[in-house]
Structure formats: C-alpha cells, structure tokens
Amino acid sequence: MIRNVNKLFCGTLVLFVCSTVDNGTAQEPLSFERYREVVEPIFLAPRGGYGPGRAPCVTCHAEQGTPLRLQALNENPDGTVFWSEEQSRQNFQIVSRLVTPGNPARSRLLRKALAVSAGGAPFHIGGKFFESQTDPEWRTMAEWVQAADPVDPNPNDIPPRLDFQFFQECVQRIFLDKRPGDVECVHCHDSGSRNFARRIPEDRDFWNQEESRGNFAIARRYIEPGHPMLSRFLTHPLSSEDGGDGFHGGPRRWASRDDPEWQMLAAWVRGEEPECLSY
C-alpha cells in the first residue's frame, strides 16, 4: 500500500516520484483497472482551446501515427464520448509500452508532455502542458506507474538502430522527388519545427554531412524504431484508407502501404537493410 509520495532532487531539478511502501507489502503489476479509472480520463481532458498542448490528447493520438496510438472514440446520443472496455484494454497495451513500471522518471508517457525544466523530454509534438511534477494529472499518472512492481528490461524489446547512412543517401532523396500533381517534401518541411528537409544552399543540389545530420535529428522525432505504423514519418503522408493519419497538411504521397517506397522506409524503420530505390 502506498503511504506517501516524495520528490527526489538532483540539485534543484525534480527527477522523479517515489513511494514509501509498507514493509513486507509487495507492489503489484501495472493495474488496468486503475489505468481506466484515473489515467485514461486524462487523455480526454479539455486543454482550453486549440493548438499544441491545448486540445485533448486524444485529438491527435487517435488520429496520428504516434507511439501513443489510441483507439477511436465512440459517441453517446448526448454527445459524450467513451471507449469500450475492449478498446480501453487495447489502449492499455499501447500505454504500457510507454512506461517503466515502478519508475516514473524513465517513463516516456510522463516525460513527453512535461516541461523540460521539470525533467521532461526535450520535445513533444503536441506541446508541453505539465509545468511541474506537482501537477495533479502528472502526479496521478506517476503514482499509477510507481505502484507497479518493477520489471527487468527485456533484451528483445531494445529498438533497432536507425541507419543514418541510409537516411543520408536514400531517404533524403525522397524529399526532393516530385510526384505528378504533388509538391516536394522540401516545399513545406524546409523551415519551422518540422524542418527535416531544410533549404539547400543555392550553390549545391543536395545536403552535406552536417546538414544531413540536422535533418536526421528532426526526422527521428517522428519515427518509432521497429514500428512503422507508430511512426508519424510513415503514417502522415499515407492514405487514411490504408491506416494513414486522419489529416496531413500536404499531399498523400503513398496511396497504400504496398507502395515500394513506403515498403522501403518501413523496412528501414524496422532495422532491416533494404535496397535503395533509384531516383
């Protein structure tokens, strides 16, 4: 039984939440019942408007190819929304991949939307809406994770390494390739926070090593190594009829996952060594 929750500090930075457990009382596995009762409602909570960090989490996470890929909501006649128990169990399986039982500090679910100054991850596409680890919603999730019995990492769960050389020599060429009726990726992705295809200097027609490294660092934000369909890099330009995201500001480059180019990128994300398509 958890008796109290304390913050541990490193200098002035809160690193994680730990619990004091009664002597002789074992912790339990990650609780689905507790998840459904107190964690899942956080994904539905309104954030006060539109834009990054304001719309409910589910607005993006039920529509976009991200590691936190939630089930689509059902709607009651009165307009309220809900997940069935089976859908919640599917959500639970996804969410469980993003937490380290017994250790909130190492749990991706808790770090992504937490401010960097409070120990959060450097970047979250949806923005930061937990300013500190004292936020009631953040503490609710932390206590749920902390109450679970720690689990030793499974070596088979180590994600594959993304091959930078393949990105530099092959993937980047996709950014410059124009398909009939579409615009090139560089047309929209050469600036801003999603600039994985930044502008090439006028005296060259391709990116050098340093520029490619910069593109790679941004592109990796949208890739879940080992999981193509949880990688926004592959789902955002994919037709929604074949599992792509519900919205993409640019064209749908791939009509289906059978597209050879999509298959090549999926193999790369899985850590395989695909043959590079010629452009």
Judge if 122 and 87 occupy the same domain: yes
Q: Which residues pair with 10 in a beta bridge?
A: 13
83 found inside a domain: yes
What percent of the chain is modeled with pLDDT above 90? 49
Residue where a domain stops, chosen among 135, 154, 173: 154
Judge if 177 and 105 occupy the same domain: no
Span of 47-61, 134-148, 223-237, 260-274 with lowest mean pLDDT: 47-61
Judge if 14 and 135 occupy the same domain: yes
275 found inside a domain: no
Q: What is the mean pLDDT of residues 95-99?
A: 92
Judge if 116 and 215 occupy the same domain: no
185-223 pLDDT, tens per residue? 887 887 777 789 888 998 999 999 999 999 999 999 889
Residue where a domain stops, chosen among 123, 154, 185: 154
115 found inside a domain: yes
Residue where a domain stops, chosen among 154, 173, 207: 154
pTM of the model: 0.66
Judge if 144 and 9 occupy the same domain: yes
Judge if 143 and 240 occupy the same domain: no
Judge if 68 and 138 occupy the same domain: yes
137 found inside a domain: yes
Range of the domain at 247: 164-269
Judge if 94 and 203 occupy the same domain: no
Number of independent structural domains in the chain: 2
State the SS3 of the chain. Answer: CEEEEEEEEECCEEEEEEEEECCCCCCECCCHHHHHHHHHHHHHCCCCCCCCCCCCHHHHHCCCCCCCCCCCCEECCCCCEECCHHHHHHHHHHHHCCCCCCCHHHCHHHHHCECHHHCCCCCCCCCCCECCCCCHHHHHHHHHHHCECCCCCCHHHCCCCCCHHHHHHHHHHHHHCCCCCCCCHHHCCCCHHHCCCCCCCCCCCCCCHHHHHHHHHHHHHHCCCCCHHHCHHHHCCECHHHCCCCCCCCCCCECCCCCHHHHHHHHHHCCCCCCCCCC
